[in-house]
């Protein structure tokens, strides 16, 4: 083989596969299976979008009913899964607990047919996220209710009480926005694992591991901590200036694809405003986020990303900050599974090359002579 092609660090600008699942573009557009995100955000249910991303087309009424029934029948966690979660220390981050719990399904559900394994993984994510938070903190486990949607169930189990219709609707909008995003870091990770022909649990666990980092899914929790630190909209300019001067990255800003606008952030920004109005709350959190967004744009022309505006929405829904990234994962599980399946349709093992820049021609020296 001739010398390998040295591509950009971080695979910047490199296409690693073909995909028919979603398309994000530098002009600030995003489609799932050909549908513009704004239409899905405004009109679809979360379950419809899950079906769309997984199956490649929107379901009719009968198909959606059957799909939803299937999800509900797999939504509860087994006693052994709950017991496993209960053995983990109370200060464990819910994302680490979630990764461990999801991985355990690779043992307890390994004999299910492949399609049922995937439905079960998607269906269990709300109970996983809520109970990975609750059980390790000594709170009673919550069971999903058969009369609630995935989003309503997740909110209900997290908070221990039924959310209002508007809260459920708002929360499900964020789940739709988090559902899928072509070959981001965690999805690429899933595709690499799939390419080795490892099972879906191995791939999903690897996806969760990649999502946790603050440059990816972990940014929504970091963004909320920042909003709480800045407190006043008038502090935004100084905060951004000082952070950049100190070489600090500001979480919830910047994106590999969207250099001017992240369409998901702008939809979320409008939603935050509406949610605060519906709740009869002061709009200070909205004004604070808006001030930080403007300050960052003025300082470095870097736009807010989805994580930046999802964070204050979750905060306004009284969701504990440490489950923001697990919530991202609960939704993205569907995208990961769609990519796992697509990878296997035309599989080629991911095995890149590297340019070796280390030392050579060294002579081994016995240990006692070093
Ligand atoms: N704060 C400060 N500076 C930033 C930020 C930021 N959030 N984002 C990018 N920059 C700067 C970089 O330092 C770099 O500056 P330089 O040219 O002076 O060196 C320039 O902008 C280009 O940035 P890159 O890191 O090359 O952009 P890249 O496409 O590789 O990175 C990334 C994208 C990793 C998301 C980056 O913007 C970042 O670290 N953001 C903060 C973390 C974050 O919010 N992640 C969530 C991503 S969205 C999601 O997961 C849903």
Instruction: Report the pLDDT averaged over residues 325-346.
Output: 98
Average pLDDT over every residue of 51-71: 98
Overall average pLDDT of the 307-332 stretch: 98
Q: Which atom of ligand 1 is nearest to the CA of 223?
A: 44
Q: Is 216 in the pocket of ligand 1 (CB under 6 A)?
A: yes
Q: What is the CA radius of gyration of the chain?
A: 22
| Ligand 1 center from residue 80 Cα (angstroms) | 41
Kindly state if the Cβ of 170 falls inside 6 Å of ligand 1.
Answer: no
Overall pTM surpassing 0.85 (yes/no): yes
Domains and CATH numbers, the chain: 35-213+321-345 (1.10.580.10), 219-316 (1.10.230.10)
Instruction: Give the separation between CA 188 and CA 243, rounded to whole angstroms.
Output: 30
Measure the CA–CA gap between 256 and 247, rounded to whole angstroms.
19
- 255 is annotated as an active-site residue: yes
| Annotated active-site residue in 74, 93, 255, 339 | 255
What does the block give as tokens for 225?
Answer: 């901590």
Backbone angles phi and psi of 30, in degrees to 5: -145, 130
Q: Please name the residue whose Cα sits nearest to atom 13 of ligand 1.
A: 249
For 131, half-sphere exposure in the C-beta direction (CA atoms, 13 angstrom radius) is 26
* pLDDT tier, 334 (very low <50, low <70, confident <90, very high otherwise): very high
By residue count, the chain amounts to 370
- Calculate how far, in angstroms, residue 303's C-alpha sits from the geometric centre of ligand 1: 10
Note if 74 is an active site residue: no
From the CA of 252, give the closest atom in ligand 1.
Answer: 44
Choose which residue among 226, 254, 263 to substitute to test ligand 1 binding: the one with the highest number of ligand atoms within 8 A of its C-beta.
Answer: 254
Ligand 1 pocket check for 302: Cβ under 6 Å: yes
Phi-psi region of 10 (alpha: psi -120 to 50; beta: other; left: phi over 0): left
Q: Measured in Å, how far apart are the chain's first and last C-alpha atoms? A: 38
Whose Cα sits closest to atom 3 in ligand 1? 249
Find the mean pLDDT for residues 7-19: 96
Nearest of 330, 327, 314, 310 to residue 266 by alpha carbon: 310
Residue 209's φ and ψ, nearest 5 degrees, are: -60, -45
pLDDT of residue 3: 85
Question: Which pLDDT tens digit goes with each residue over 221-249?
Answer: 999 999 999 999 999 999 999 999 999 99
User: At 1, is the pLDDT very low, low, confident or very high (cuts 50, 70, 90)?
Assistant: low
């Amino acid at each position: 083989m001739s010398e390998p092609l040295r591509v950009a660090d971080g695979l910047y600008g490199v296409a690693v596969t073909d995909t028919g699942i979603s398309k994000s573009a530098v002009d600030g557009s995003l489609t799932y299976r050909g549908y513009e995100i704004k239409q899905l955000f405004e009109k679809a249910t979360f379950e419809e979008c899950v079906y769309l991303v997984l199956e490649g087309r929107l379901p009719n009424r009968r198909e959606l009913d059957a799909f939803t029934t299937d999800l509900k029948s797999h939504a509860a966690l087994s006693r052994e899964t709950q017991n496993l979660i209960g053995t983990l220390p109370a200060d464990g981050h819910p994302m680490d607990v979630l990764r461990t719990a999801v991985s355990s399904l690779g043992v307890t559900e390994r004999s299910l047919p492949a399609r049922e394994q995937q439905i079960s993984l998607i269906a269990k994510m709300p109970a996983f996220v809520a109970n990975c938070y609750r059980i390790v903190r000594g709170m009673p486990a919550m069971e999903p209710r058969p009369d609630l949607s995935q989003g309503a169930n997740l909110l209900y189990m997290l908070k221990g009480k039924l959310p209002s219709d508007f809260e459920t609707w708002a929360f499900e909008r964020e789940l739709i926005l988090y559902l899928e995003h072509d070959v981001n870091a965690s999805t690429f990770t899933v595709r690499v694992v799939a390419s080795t022909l490892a099972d879906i649990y191995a791939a999903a666990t690897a996806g969760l591991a990649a999502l946790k980092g603050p440059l990816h899914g972990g940014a929504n929790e970091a963004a909320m901590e920042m909003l709480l630190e800045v407190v006043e909209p008038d502090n935004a300019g100084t905060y951004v200036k000082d952070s950049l001067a100190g070489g600090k990255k500001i979480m919830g800003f910047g994106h590999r694809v969207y250099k001017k606008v992240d369409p998901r952030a702008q939809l979320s920004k409008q939603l935050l405003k509406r949610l605060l109005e519906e709740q009869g709350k002061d709009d200070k959190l909205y004004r604070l986020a808006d001030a930080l967004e403007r300050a960052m744009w003025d300082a470095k022309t870097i736009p807010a990303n989805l994580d930046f505006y999802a964070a204050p929405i979750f905060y306004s829904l009284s969701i504990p900050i440490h489950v923001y990234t697990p919530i991202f994962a609960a939704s993205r599980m569907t995208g990961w599974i769609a990519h796992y399946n697509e990878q296997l349709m035309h599989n080629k093992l991911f095995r890149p090359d590297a340019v070796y820049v280390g030392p050579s021609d060294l002579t081994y020296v016995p240990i006692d002579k070093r």
